[in-house]
């Protein structure tokens, strides 16, 4: 199994600690003002244009000071998921907030789809094995399986499981304490794989979706005698081509 | 559900196919303009009075139009007059597509004579007992006549099962809605906090026209045949089915009170057929989601509670005990090999949340509303999946489950799709009327909020379904017209490329016609259930 991005991300140390505050003491007045503005924003950081507005310092001074502060390792440039083109700075002692990074599922401003896919597969597998599983059960089962040597929080598993429900891979149920729910307290939310009998796991294709009109992007322009009409429809030609 | 624009077009198309342009013109006029007097139909359609009258008679004979009288409050100088108006019965027109389904139900439950009776009623709209007997005999070989008793006996069976009923009153009098009625209904709706679908005029008219329960399914056969039936039949051998139409159907110039009830007219009770199809749809849904055991138990529950069902759109069935359900289960062949425990566990499965069957004090009742809603959602989701892709499908499901406004970022987080991409897809769904969008401006920031409005969307989807049904029907006709030569070619001359073409056409027809039937199931799911 190769899953470089996800692995390296979660295995690597996330937090870097700044060990000394000493460089801050040798700053000029203007550098200090700018540093304080950035630092006050904590884990939200600040966009260069906002710095200029808040400090009322001229552009060249701000640009120069930013370089100095970066060189002294007091601030760092971060990617803001909301606006990747903007230059965004943050004091080094803070880790960017969820709003800035996009949350745990983002790496350097990009959604870690590969990692998410692996987790989805693992969760489905565990639920299938357990037949009916609670969130705790899934988390526990993944931990014990040892397939992932990363620590995942219950919150993370919860997000993955909720996404699987939207995928229609699993369904969310409430235990009634009977039958297969016997080991689960009544009223507790649990999950179950959708039986992959006839549909082969794919959602059932409805009556409308299985005819050309059901998926036609031009249905609004289609009239019996119009340029687009059922008699001349290309989708129909394709559909009826035996 | 309401009749949508394409619903009307489709209904007119069906009437054109079955009864020609003239009748369709009158029908369209009524569908579009609502109930009208004879005078106004003549005015709007610009047809002659005779043409309109005859068209109306055809439509009434086939249960597609109902006449009713209304107090005329317009004239103040004289005493209130009663005016006769005609209303198109949209649902009944659509049912014409389903006659094969109705007949399939009958052939599953009854023998061929019954099938013949219902077939006759569907074909001719409404018939007297005498006409039914004539029809039964005309389809028999020489000297193999069906006796009056046999026909009566079978008709009795069909009436007992409610598949056949007395025709509605020709011209019922409809109380005009008084001013006290409207606010009273509003208050009621508010206090009960339930969404009560407003009763349409069509429903009110049908309600007024429907004979009293006892009379509607009264087994008392009319006397015209019991006494001199056989004689009478011989006296007028040239009288054929259909000839009576003009006399039987409501004629605006004849005072209906004096003529009605002398001869009993029978017709198919569409309501019962639709109820049956609704039950079937529920059973199939449960089977697909659970297993055969659950489906057998559900169908037993339907069987045990069906007599208590008063209207088609019943929200839930009457409560049943485990014992009574088991008793019903073992009546069926498939249910006979189920043990009591098996039935019990199927009930547990059916009632596990979100439940198809609700349990109160050890009594089980079917939650029809929930089963139907699940099936409707599934149909719409499958359209979204095919038309907009998997990510859109996830977004739609998220919003549909949430049932409230959600912000773009939140949606993006939940379904693991990049924010930019999320916005793009949501926008596309919104453009095609699958979502509602609201802009929220906070300071300088603008947030986009999205929502699925089921009520509006379901109607939109239904309209697209009607459109699709119309298109399918037009395309079938077009293909048949195109390949007329091949269709008309005698079998022995269908060789080589001709044979190939014929086979291809056959496949096309099978595909299109089976799609029509399935699409009609989906239309019923949204329109009738």
Residue ranges covered by each domain of chain B? 5-93, 110-176, 279-366, 388-452, 462-528
Q: Per-residue pLDDT averaged across B441-451, rounded?
A: 89
- The answer to whether B164 and B266 have CB atoms below 8 angstroms apart is yes
Q: Which residues 213-242 in chain A show a CB within 8 A of chain B?
A: 213-215, 217, 219, 222, 224, 229-231, 233, 236, 239-240, 242
DSSP 8-state symbol, B212: P
Distance of residue A129 Cα from the nearest chain B Cα, in angstroms: 19
Q: Residues B402, A102: contact at Cβ < 8 Å?
A: no
Question: Measured in Å, how far apart are chain A's first and last C-alpha atoms?
Answer: 43
> A208: which chain B residues are within 8 Å (Cβ-Cβ)?
379, 382-383, 461, 464-465, 468, 519, 522
The predicted structure's pLDDT at residue A6:
45
The pLDDT value given to residue B472: 94
User: Which among A207, A209, A240 is the top mutation candidate for probing chain B, defined by the most B β-carbons within 10 Å of its own β-carbon?
Assistant: A207
Give the nearest partner residue to A206 out of B397, B470, B522, using CB atoms.
Answer: B522
Taking contacts as CB-CB distances below 8 angstroms, the residues of chain A near B378 are: 203-204, 206
Q: Which residues of B touch A215 (CB under 8 A)?
A: 383, 386-387
Q: Which residue of B17, B101, B289, B353 to mutate against A (max A Cβ within 10 Å)?
A: B353
State which residue of chain A sits closest to B379, comparing Cα positions.
A206
Give the pLDDT of residue B141. 61
Q: Does the pLDDT value for residue B270 go beyond 90?
A: yes
| pLDDT band at residue B6 under the 50/70/90 scheme | very high
Chain-chain contact of A207 with B521 (C-beta, under 8 angstroms): yes
Considering only CB atoms, which chain B residues are within 8 Å of A106?
none
Residue B269 has pLDDT above 50, yes or no: yes
pLDDT band at B191 (very low <50, low <70, confident <90, very high): very low
pLDDT at A7: 44
Find which of A186, A206, A217 to mutate to test the B interface (most B CBs within 10 Å of its CB). Answer: A206
Instruction: Identify which has the larger pLDDT, B210 or B399.
Output: B399
Task: Say what the pLDDT of residue B424 is.
Answer: 94
Q: Rounded CA gap, B409 and A36, in Å?
A: 30
**B394 contact residues in A (CB cutoff 8 A):** 163, 166-167
Q: Are B319 and B255 in contact (CB under 8 A)?
A: no
B288/A198 CB distance under 8 A:
yes
Q: What does pLDDT average to over chain B?
A: 84
Please indicate whether the domains covering B5-93 and B388-452 agree at the CATH topology level: yes
Per-residue pLDDT, B384: 94
In whole angstroms, how far apart are CA A232 and each of A228, B16, B410, B482, B512? 7, 22, 43, 12, 16
Q: Which residues of chain A have pLDDT under 70?
A: 1-24, 195-203
pLDDT band of residue B214 (cuts 50, 70, 90) is: confident
Q: Which residue out of A112, A171, A203, A214 would a mutagenesis test of the B interface target, given it has the greatest number of B Cβ atoms within 10 Å?
A: A214
A174 to chain B: closest CA residue: B353
Contact B468 A215 (CB under 8 A): no
pLDDT confidence band for B221 (50 / 70 / 90): low
Contact B397 A168 (CB under 8 A): yes
- Name A91's Cβ contacts closer than 8 Å, sequence gap at least 6: A35, A38, A39, A41, A42, A74, A75, A76
The pLDDT score that the predictor gives to residue B118 is 95
Q: Do A209 and B382 touch (CB under 8 A)?
A: yes
Contacts of A163 in chain B (CB under 8 A): 394, 414-416
Contact between A203 and B467 using a beta-carbon 8 Å cutoff: no
Residue A174 three-state SS: strand
Residue of B nearest to A205 (CA): B382
CATH 3.30.420.40 holds for B388-452 = no
Contacts of residue A239 in chain B, CB cutoff 8 Å? 511
Chain B: residue nearest A162 by CA? Answer: B414
Give me the residue from A162, A205, A242 closest to B414, CB to CB.
A162
User: What is the side-by-side strand order in the sheet with B436-442?
Assistant: B406-407, B445-451, B436-442
The SS3 call for residue A15 is: coil
Global confidence as pTM = 0.81
Hey, are the CB atoms on B397 and A166 less than 8 Å from each other?
Answer: yes
What is the reported pLDDT for B360? 87
Of A163, A179, A203, the CB nearest to B385: A203
- What is the CA A128 to chain-centroid distance, rounded? 24
| Residues A70 and A58 sit within 8 Å (Cβ to Cβ) | no
- Residue B354, preceding bond cis, omega within 30 degrees? yes
Whether B419 sits inside 8 A of A81 (CB atoms) is: yes
CATH of B279-366, one of 3.30.470.20, 2.102.10.10, 1.10.10.10, 1.10.150.120: 1.10.10.10
Q: Residue B428: its pLDDT value, please?
A: 93
More confident residue, A149 or B337: B337
B434: Cβ–Cβ under 8 A, 6 or more apart, which residues? B384, B388, B396, B452, B457, B460
| pLDDT at residue B25, as a whole number | 96
Show residues of chain B in contact with A112, CB under 8 Å.
Answer: none
Residue B77 has a pLDDT of 59
- Considering only residues B94 and B492, tell me which one the structure prediction assigns the higher pLDDT: B94
Interchain contact, A173 vs B352, CB within 8 Å = yes
Q: Per-residue pLDDT for B100 more than 90?
A: yes
Q: Which residue of A has its CA nearest to B383?
A: A209
Q: What is the pLDDT of residue B439?
A: 92
Which pLDDT does position A242 carry in this prediction? 78
Q: Is A186 on the interface with B (CB under 8 A)?
A: no
Fold that domain B5-93 belongs to in CATH = Arc Repressor Mutant, subunit A (1.10.10)
Nearby residues of B89 by Cβ (< 8 Å), 6 or more positions away = B63, B64, B65, B66, B202, B206
Separation in Å, CA of B296 to nearest CA in chain A? 18
- In the beta sheet, which residues pair with residue B164? B268
**Given B353, B398, B471, which is nearest A176 (Cβ)?**
B353
Task: Determine whether the interchain pair B379/A214 forms a contact, defined as Cβ–Cβ distance below 8 Å.
Answer: no
Backbone phi and psi for residue A91, each to the nearest 5 degrees, phi listed first: -65, 145
pLDDT at B430 over 90: yes
Angle A200-A206-A209 from CA coordinates, rounded to 5°: 110
pLDDT of residue B177: 58
User: b or e along B157-181 (b: 16 or more beta carbons within 10 Å of the residue's beta carbon)?
Assistant: bbbebbbbbbbbbbbbebeeeeeee
Q: What is the pLDDT of residue A132?
A: 86
Q: What is the pLDDT of residue B93?
A: 96
Closest by Cβ to A215, choosing from B349, B386, B467: B386
The tally of CA atoms less than 13 A away on the side-chain side of residue B221 is 22
User: Given an 8 Å threshold on Cβ–Cβ distance, is A231 in contact with B522?
Assistant: no
Question: From the CA of B520, how many Å to the nearest CA of chain A?
Answer: 9
Is B283 in contact with B296 (CB distance < 8 Å)? Answer: no
Greatest mean pLDDT range, B200-204, B230-234, B380-384: B380-384
Q: How confident is the model at residue B38 (pLDDT cuts 50, 70, 90)?
A: very high
Query: Tokens for B384?
Result: 């979204």
- Report pLDDT digits (tens) over B9-29: 999 999 999 999 999 999 999
Q: Smallest Cβ distance to B383: which of A81, A105, A214?
A: A214
Instruction: Name which of A41-45, B191-195, B406-410 the model is least confident about.
Output: B191-195
């Amino acid at each position: 199994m190769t899953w470089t991005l996800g692995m390296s991300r979660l295995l690597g140390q996330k937090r870097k600690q700044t060990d000394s505050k000493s460089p801050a003491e040798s700053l000029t007045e203007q550098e200090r003002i700018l540093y304080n503005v950035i630092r006050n924003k904590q884990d939200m950081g600040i966009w260069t244009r906002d710095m200029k507005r808040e400090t009322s310092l001229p552009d060249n001074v701000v640009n120069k000071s930013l370089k100095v502060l970066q060189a002294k390792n007091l601030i760092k440039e971060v990617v803001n998921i909301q606006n990747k083109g903007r230059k965004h700075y943050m004091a080094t002692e803070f880790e960017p907030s969820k709003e800035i990074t996009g949350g745990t599922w983002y790496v350097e401003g990009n959604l870690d789809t590969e990692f998410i896919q692996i987790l989805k597969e693992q969760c489905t597998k565990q639920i299938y094995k357990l037949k009916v599983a609670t969130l705790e059960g899934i988390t526990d089962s993944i931990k014990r399986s040892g397939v992932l040597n990363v620590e995942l929080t219950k919150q993370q598993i919860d997000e993955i499981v909720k996404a699987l429900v939207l995928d229609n891979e699993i369904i969310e149920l409430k235990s009634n304490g009977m039958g297969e729910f016997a080991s689960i307290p009544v009223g507790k939310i649990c999950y179950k794989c959708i039986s992959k009998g006839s549909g082969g796991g794919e959602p059932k294709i409805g009556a409308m979706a299985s005819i050309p009109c059901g998926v036609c992007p031009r249905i609004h322009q289609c009239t019996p005698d119009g340029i687009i009409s059922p008699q001349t429809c290309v989708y129909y030609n394709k559909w009826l081509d035996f | 559900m309401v009749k949508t624009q394409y619903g009307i077009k489709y209904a007119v198309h069906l009437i054109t196919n079955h009864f020609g342009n003239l009748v369709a013109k009158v029908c369209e006029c009524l569908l579009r303009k609502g109930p009208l007097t004879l005078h106004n139909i003549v005015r709007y359609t610009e047809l002659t009075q005779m043409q309109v009258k005859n068209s109306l008679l055809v439509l009434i004979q086939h249960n597609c139009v109902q006449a009713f009288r209304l107090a005329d409050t317009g004239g103040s100088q004289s005493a209130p007059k009663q005016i006769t108006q005609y209303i198109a019965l949209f649902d009944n027109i659509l049912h014409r597509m389903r006659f094969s389904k109705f007949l399939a139900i009958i052939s599953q439950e009854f023998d061929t004579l019954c099938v013949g009776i219902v077939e006759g009623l569907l074909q001719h709209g409404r018939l007297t007992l005498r006409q039914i007997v004539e029809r039964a005999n005309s389809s028999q070989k020489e000297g193999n006549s069906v006796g009056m008793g046999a026909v009566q006996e079978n008709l009795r069976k069909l009436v007992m099962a409610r598949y056949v009923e007395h025709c509605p009153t020709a011209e019922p009098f409809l109380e005009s809605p008084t001013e006290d009625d409207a606010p009273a209904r509003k208050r009621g709706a508010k206090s009960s906090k339930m969404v009560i679908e407003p009763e349409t005029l069509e429903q009110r008219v049908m309600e007024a026209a429907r004979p009293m329960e006892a009379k509607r399914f009264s087994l008392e056969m009319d006397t015209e045949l019991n006494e001199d039936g056989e004689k009478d039949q011989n006296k007028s051998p040239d009288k054929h089915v259909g000839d009576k139409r003009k006399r039987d159907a409501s004629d605006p110039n004849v005072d209906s009170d004096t003529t009605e009830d002398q001869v009993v007219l029978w017709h198919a009770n569409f309501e019962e057929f639709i109820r049956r199809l609704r039950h079937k749809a529920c059973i199939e849904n449960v089977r697909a989601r659970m297993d055969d055991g659950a489906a057998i138990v559900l169908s037993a529950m339907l069987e045990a509670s069906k007599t208590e069902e008063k209207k088609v759109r019943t929200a839930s069935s009457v409560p049943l005990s485990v014992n009574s359900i088991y008793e019903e289960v073992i009546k069926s062949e498939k249910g006979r090999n189920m043990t009591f425990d098996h039935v019990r566990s199927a009930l547990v499965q059916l009632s596990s949340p979100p439940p198809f069957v609700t349990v109160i004090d050890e009594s089980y009742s079917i939650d029809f509303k929930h089963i139907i809603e699940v099936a409707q959602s599934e149909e719409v989701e499958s359209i979204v999946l095919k038309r907009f892709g998997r990510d859109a499908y996830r977004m739609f499901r998220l919003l549909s489950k949430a049932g409230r406004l959600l912000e773009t970022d939140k949606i993006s987080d939940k379904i693991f799709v990049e924010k930019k991409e999320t916005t793009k897809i949501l926008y596309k769904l919104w453009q095609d009327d699958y979502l509602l969008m609201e802009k929220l401006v906070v300071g300088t920031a603008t947030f986009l909020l999205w929502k699925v409005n089921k009520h509006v969307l379901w109607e939109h989807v239904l309209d697209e379904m009607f459109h699709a049904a119309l298109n399918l029907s037009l395309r079938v006709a077009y293909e048949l017209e195109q390949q007329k030569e091949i269709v008309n070619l005698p079998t022995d001359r269908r060789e080589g490329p001709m044979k190939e073409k014929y086979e291809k056409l056959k496949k096309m027809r099978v595909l299109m016609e089976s799609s029509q039937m399935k699409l009609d199931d989906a239309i019923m799911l949204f329109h009738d259930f």
